[in-house]
Structure 1
Amino acid sequence: MEDSLDILKHHEWQVPENLAGTRLDKAIALYNEEWSRVRVQEWIRDGLVRVNGSAKKGNYRLKHGETVEIQVPPAEELQVIAEPIPLDIRYEDEDVLVVNKPRGMVVHPGPGNHTGTLVNALLAHCKDELSGIGGVARPGIVHRIDKDTSGLLMIAKNDLAHQSLVAQLKEHSVERVYLAVVHGLIPHENGTIEAPIGRDPVHRQRMAVVHKNSKHAVTHFTVRERFAGTTLIECRLETGRTHQIRVHMKYIGFPLVGDPVYGPKKNIYPIEGQALHAQVIGFAHPRTGEQIRIEAELPRDMERLLQTLRSQS
C-alpha cells in the first residue's frame, strides 16, 4: 500500500516583509488563492504545516524570513449522486438544456454542498447524457450563477455542445440579461462599468475591483424603474467574472438589495439573498447554428419585492 506521505504535495516558502505580523492561516491563504482559509486551518490542525520546523496554531503571527512548509493532501474524490429534484426546464433537445434555477440552489457540488445541487438534479434527469469536459463534479456545466441568484443556465449534453457554448462565451456572443434591484437612485439612464475583478486581497472569499491578479470585466446597465431609495436595473454582461454584477454595482456605489456579502449588513427588504435574476439567455445552437433565445419571468420573491417598493413609492 502506498504511504500517504508519498502523495502529499510539498510547498516551502519564506515569509516576505509585507506578510510579517500576519496570522499563519491568513498568510497561507494569501500565498495560494485557490486554498480556502477553512482548508488551511484543517491542514494546520492536522499537523501538515510547519514554521521553521515547528507546528504552530493558525493565529501564530509570522516573522519576516521564517520558513513555512506545507504538506498539501490530495483532493478527496467526489462522489456525485443523482437525485430526483424537480427542474424548471425551459428548453431541451439532444444537445442543450436550458434550466431556470431557483434562488438558494447551488449549481455544482463542492465543500459543504454534496447534495441538493443542480448537478445532482441533472444527473437524475439526463442520466449519462451530459458533457464530461467539466469533470466529475461539473458534468454539463458551461457557466454558473451564484447560489442566491435565480435564472437561466445553459447545460451541455455532449462535448460538442460544451465546446461550442464555451467558445461563444469567450467570444462574448452569448446574450445574458439580468434584472437587479440596487440600493440608491441611479441618476443616469444607462452606463457601462469597465473595471477589472479579482480576489479581494483582505477578504479572500470575496471578489473586488483590483488591478493586480485580476481579469477584464465589463457590465452594461439600463435603469428600468426608480423607487424611494432603490432602482430596478437591467444588466447585460460582456464578460462573465465571478460575482461580476454584484461587485461592479457595489464599486459604483449601488450595491444589490439583499446581498449578504457586498450589500449593507442589515437587510430591510423582503427578500433572502441578492435581488438578482438571470432573465434572458441567447446563443447559437451548437449543431444547427439557429439562434436560441429564452426568457424567464421574475421569481415570486422578486415580484413581491417590486410590489413592496412600488407601494412605498
Structure 2
Amino acid sequence: MEGNNFLIEQNNVGIRIDKFLNEKIEDKSRSFIQGLIDDNQVLVNEKNVKSNYKLRLEDKVVVNIPEPKELWVEPEDIPLDILYEDSDVIVVNKPQGMVVHPAAGVYNGTLVNALLNHCKDLSGINGVIRPGIVHRIDKDTSGVLVIAKNDYAHNKLSEQFKAHSMKREYYALVEGIIKDEEGIIETNLGRHPTDRIKFAVVSNGKHAITHYKVIERFKTATLVKCNLETGRTHQIRIHMAYIGHPLIGDSVYGYKKQRFKATGQLLHAKVLGFIHPTKNEFIEFESPLPEYFQKVLTIFKNELK
C-alpha cells in the first residue's frame, strides 16, 4: 500500500477531510477519496471518520491507498482502420465512441483490446493495461493515433510528445460565429476546482497553447482547424469553450442540451506527423472527416443555400 501522512496545521482547521485530501493527493478524484474513507482506509488520530469530518489542529491523518489491481486485457477481434504499420509503429484511425485503453468500468471493446488481437509485439512501458499507448484522444474524439510496437520506439515517440515537436491538427465544429480568421489561446489548465471529473482554466495549472484557424463559417456555427502546441487533457474542448465557442456535441464543456443527436463532441484528429523512431525521417498521416462529422456539416451547409 502507498501511504500518506499529514499533520494538520492552523490554515487547514475546519476543512472537511475529503476536500483536504482531494487537494493534497494528486490524480485522485473526490469520489475516490470518499471511497477510501468509506472503506476505513483513512484514519484520524488512529480512528475511522466520515467524509464530512472537519479537521482540527494537530490532527494526525493517515491515508492508505491500495495498490491498483493489475488487470489482464483480453485480445478482441475488433476491426482496425490501419493507416500504416511496420516493425516499430502502427498508425490507426480511431472511430468515435472507442476508448483507447481499459480503465475502471471499461475492460473490453477498447483500442488496446483490438491491438492485442492484431499483433503481440507492443511496447511494455505503460504496462499490461496500456501496451504501446504513447498518447490518447478522448472516447468521443475520432482520428489518428500512433502506437509503439517496442520500447525503443515508445521512448523516441514520447520524447517528441514531451518536446511538443509532433504535428497534431484537429478539425472542430464549434457553436457560434468566430469573427477572427485565426488566433492563439494560451492558458493554464488543471483539475476543475469543484468538479473533479472536469478540467478547467486555472492559475496553477499546466501551460497550454492552442492555435486555431477558421475553415468555414455557417449561420450559427464555425468549422475550425486547431493545432496543438501542447497536449493537455481536453485542451481543445476547454479552450474553445473558454473563448465562448464550445464544441457542438460537447455536453461537458458546452451546452447540456444539444441541437443534434450527436453522441459526443465534433472533434477529429485529422493530421498526425512525427519523426519515425528508427528511420529518422518525418512522416505524416491524414484521416478524412468521418461520416458522423460530415452529417452535421451537411446540415449547416444546407442552411446557407
How far the C-alpha of 1:242 sits from its partner, in A, is 1.0
Match of 1:123 in 2: 116
Q: Does 1:249 align with 2:246?
A: no
* Mapped partners of 2:267, 2:14: distance in 1: 39
Whether contact under 8 Å (1:258, 1:272) holds in the other structure is: yes
Contact kept, 8 Å, 1:270 with 1:305, in 2: the verdict is: no
Other-structure match for 2:49: 56
Alpha carbons of 1:184 and 1:67: their partners in 2 closer, same or farther (altered >3 Å)?
farther
Equivalent positions of 1:122-271 (< 5 A) are: 122-127=115-120, 129-212=121-204, 214-271=205-262
Q: For residues 185-208 of structure 1, what are the alpha-carbon distances to aligned partners after superposition, in whole Å with 9 as ceiling and x for unaligned? A: 111000111212122222222211
For 2:52 and 2:109, locate their aligned partners in 1 and report how far apart those are by CA, in whole Å. Answer: 35
Q: What secondary structure is seen at the aligned counterpart in 1 of 2:159?
A: helix
Partner of 1:87: 80
Confirm or deny that 1:298 pairs with 2:280: no
Higher mean C-alpha displacement, 233-242 vs 156-165? 156-165
1:70-109 maps to which residues of 2 (within 5 A)?
70-109=63-102
CA 1:304–1:74 in structure 2 vs 1: closer, same or farther (change >3 Å)? same
- Alpha-carbon spacing, 1:269–1:65, altered in 2? closer, same or farther (3 Å): farther
For residues 192 and 108 of structure 1, the distance between their equivalents in structure 2, rounded to whole angstroms, comes to: 31
The aligned amino acid for 2:260 is Y
Output the CA distance in 1 between the equivalents of 2:10 and 2:242. Answer: 30
Aligned length: 304
Would you say 1:27 and 2:20 are equivalent positions? yes
**Aligned pair partner of 1:45 in 4, 26, 38:** 38
**RMSD of the TM alignment (CA)?**
1.9
- Report the TM-score, using the length of structure 1 for normalisation: 0.91
| C-alpha distance 185-63 of structure 1, shift in aligned 2 (>3 A) | farther
Counterpart residue identity of residue 155, structure 1: I
Offset at 1:167? Answer: 1.7
Are residues 275 and 182 of structure 1, via their aligned partners in 2, closer, same or farther at CA, if it must alter by over 3 Å? Answer: same
TM-score (norm. length: structure 2) = 0.93
Identity %: 52
Gaps (5+ residues) in structure 2? Answer: none
The 2-side partners of 1:80 and 1:244 are apart by 29
Deviation at 1:228, TM superposition (A): 1.9
- In structure 2, how many angstroms separate the alpha carbons of the residues matched to 1:121 and 1:94? 18
